[in-house]
Chains A and B, each alone.
Chain A
Amino acid sequence: MRMEMAGHVYPPFLLRPDKALAAKFLSGQGAAVDLDRVPPTYLIFLRAESRGANLFADLGIPRQKALHGGQRYEWRAALDWDDDLDVTVTVEKITERAGRGGRIWFADVAFDYVRVADGVPVLREITRLIERE
């Protein structure tokens, strides 16, 4: 874990919800593919990886040592399919603890999704990444 990444803010990237991806997101869950609305957790940190915020590489977390600790969603405004979003990724904090099998690092990373058309924040997502020693 690169502890010095704590506090890092990435340059914003642009994202628009995609119905083809949402259909896979829903069918993967075994849910009905109802695309009337953007599914509530369709926006997810993983979409940043190919758009300039490659967290596992940048934080120095090898895939085979990685775990996912959890997620938080705070919905602030409705989201439509044709909304362009500015996404800002912030490494909020990184902590180290002693675990049973060695050290464990926790990185909390926040994703702020803001509608480009009117500047309204629509979602804050926090993902908690874990690296095992």
Chain B
Amino acid sequence: MDPTAGDVVFETIVPGADRSRIAEFSAGTEDPNPIHTDEAFARAAGFPTVLQQGPMTTAHFARLLAETVGPERLRWLDVTFTAPVYPDEALTLTAVVAGVRDRIVTCTLRAAKADGTATAKGEAGFATQA
């Protein structure tokens, strides 16, 4: 049965990434930006420590959607980063169905820290089951 508005597609706690994992993700994305790996650089840029990459949150959303509905059903994903994420901060990622139209299920995405701070919001679309 196809989902309806309000259905939870997933609600998942993603454990925090430590500095070595953040550096690994930079290597895997060919990201040379020292803001993710160099403490002094991050502080000079006005942050208390290095930043986790926004694209890591995007990757989590895409992976969780693919695991939940199947990768072949993914159509689009749009994520806006709203607050910095620092090392070792767990995030709760949620996707809730907003509606179904023209055989595409649209869902609303949210990422938040344990204290409730929203770090990303967005939308995704995936195909209804054939």
Q: How far is the CA of A74 from the CA of B77 in the complex (A)?
A: 7
Interface stretch (choices A3-11, A20-28, A114-122): A20-28
* Chain A contacts with B in 26-68, Cβ cutoff 8 A: 26-31, 37, 39-41, 44, 46-47, 49-50, 63-68
Q: How far is the CA of A49 from the CA of B31 in the complex (A)?
A: 8
Contacts of B45 in A (CB 8 A): 63-65
* Chain B contacts with A in 38-88, Cβ cutoff 8 A: 41, 44-46, 53-56, 58-60, 62-63, 65-66, 71-72, 74-81
Q: How far is the CA of A22 from the CA of B28 in the complex (A)?
A: 6
Q: How far is the CA of A75 from the CA of B53 in the complex (A)?
A: 22
Contact residue range for chain B? 35 or more
Partner of B54, one of A26, A71, A75: A71
Question: B15 on the interface (CB 8 Å rule)?
Answer: yes
Q: A39 and B63: CB pair below 8 A?
A: yes
Q: How far is the CA of A22 from the CA of B55 in the complex (A)?
A: 14
Partner of B30, one of A46, A74, A75, A78: A46
Contacts of B54 in A (CB 8 A): 68, 70-71
Instruction: Indicate whether A28 sits within 8 Å of B25 (C-beta atoms), given known contacts A39-B59, A70-B122.
Output: yes
Q: How far is the CA of A29 from the CA of B12 in the complex (A)?
A: 14
Contacts of A72 in B (CB 8 A): 76-79
Q: How far is the CA of A21 from the CA of B59 in the complex (A)?
A: 14
Q: How far is the CA of A73 from the CA of B26 in the complex (A)?
A: 19
Nearest B-chain residue to A74, judged by Cβ:
B76
Q: How far is the CA of A25 from the CA of B45 in the complex (A)?
A: 25
Q: B76 and A69: CB pair below 8 A?
A: no
Contacts of B44 in A (CB 8 A): 64
Please give the distance in Å from A62's CB to the nearest CB on chain B: 9
Q: What does the 1/0 interface line of B92-110 toward A look like (CB < 8 Å)?
A: 0000000000000000000
Q: How far is the CA of A24 from the CA of B66 in the complex (A)?
A: 19
Q: B77 and A73: CB pair below 8 A?
A: yes
Most buried by B among A28, A47, A69: A28
Task: Give me the interface of B with A, judged by CB distance under 8 Å.
Answer: 14-15, 17, 21-35, 41, 44-46, 53-56, 58-60, 62-63, 65-66, 71-72, 74-81, 120, 122
Task: Give me the interface of A with B, judged by CB distance under 8 Å.
Answer: 21-31, 37, 39-41, 44, 46-47, 49-50, 63-75, 78, 128
